[in-house]
Structure 1
Amino acid sequence: MTTAPLNPGQQLMPIGKLRPMVRGFDCEVIVLETAMPTTTRDGQTIHTFLVADRTASIIMTIWGNDGKYIRNGDIIRIEGAEAKLFKGFMQLTTARFGKPRRVGEDTMLFKELPNLSETQWVTEEESRALAPPEDAR
């Protein structure tokens, strides 16, 4: 259920279809859990949330003040989102020019499972390193 009208031609990417390194997509999620913000060595604040849509859930990180006012139950639309790997696990984040925007609250169907941030992703190089040598197959 969309709570704010989409722009003409705008389509929302379901969480369940995300793959690492996908960039520049739009999505709409409901905030299920909010973690305490963390601060990087250089003083930047990172806000972390567990979010979901009708297909799956994922960890979402928002850098800076954009995440300061997001609360559990908020429905957030992100235009220009990215799916990134952090320590081998996928996260949803705003791209350099992406912005999260609150478009509603408490009125969205969602699925907590699968949680895409619980699956460890392996790069092609890591996969080749883990595979047995060709002559051993």
Structure 2
Amino acid sequence: MSVPLKPGQQLVPIIKFRPSMRGFDCEVIVLETAMPTTTRDGQTIYSFLVADKTASIIMNIWGNDGRYIHNGDIIRIEGAEAKLFKGFMQLTTARYGKIKRVGEDTMEFKEQPNVSEMQWVTEEESKAMEASEEGQC
């Protein structure tokens, strides 16, 4: 069961995700699911480890859509976002993003590198570190 891409649709591989990327499309396989968490204001967040043929990443889905996603599902996200949370990158959907199950269990993937395990710094933090290093010389 493979769903064809829309004309001109490009899928971005996980390894090319960068913090603050918005509005891109990707296709991933769900490797692991975690217990959902609830925020202080009562919103539910479902977390998953997902991968494609280039890398893996933590994906968070807000609201009830996450309860329909299971291990082995191949999902296509239209309107995805790569966000930093406490310095680590995660995949999520934009407000009007769409999640669609397009297959099951038959996708080539790599668990490593896991880009959610990499520490990312913002451009401002990078400039501040460079300035402090120059002052030490």
Q: Paired residue for 2:23?
A: 24
1:28-75 CA distance string (max 9 Å, x none) = 000000000000011100000000000000000000011111000000
Q: TM-score, normalised by structure 1?
A: 0.94
Q: Does 1:121 align with 2:98?
A: no
Shift of 1:133: 5.4
Provide TM-score, normalisation by structure 2. Answer: 0.94
Amino acid in structure 1 at the alignment position of 2:69 = I
SS in 2 for 1:13: coil
Can you give the 5+ residue segments of structure 2 that lack an aligned partner in the other structure? none
How far the C-alpha of 1:127 sits from its partner, in A, is 2.4
How big is the shift at 1:130?
3.0
2:84, 2:16 → 1: CA distance? 15
Any stretches of 5+ residues in structure 1 without a counterpart? none
Alignment partners' CA distance in 1, 2:3 and 2:110: 20
The letter of the residue matching 2:93 is: T
Over the matched positions of the two proteins, sequence identity in percent amounts to 78
Show the counterpart of 1:11. Answer: 10
Query: Which amino acid counterpart does residue 136 of structure 1 have in structure 2?
Result: Q
Q: Which residue in 2 is equivalent to 1:57?
A: 56
Give me the whole-angstrom Cα distance separating, in 1, the residues matched to 2:134 and 2:70: 51
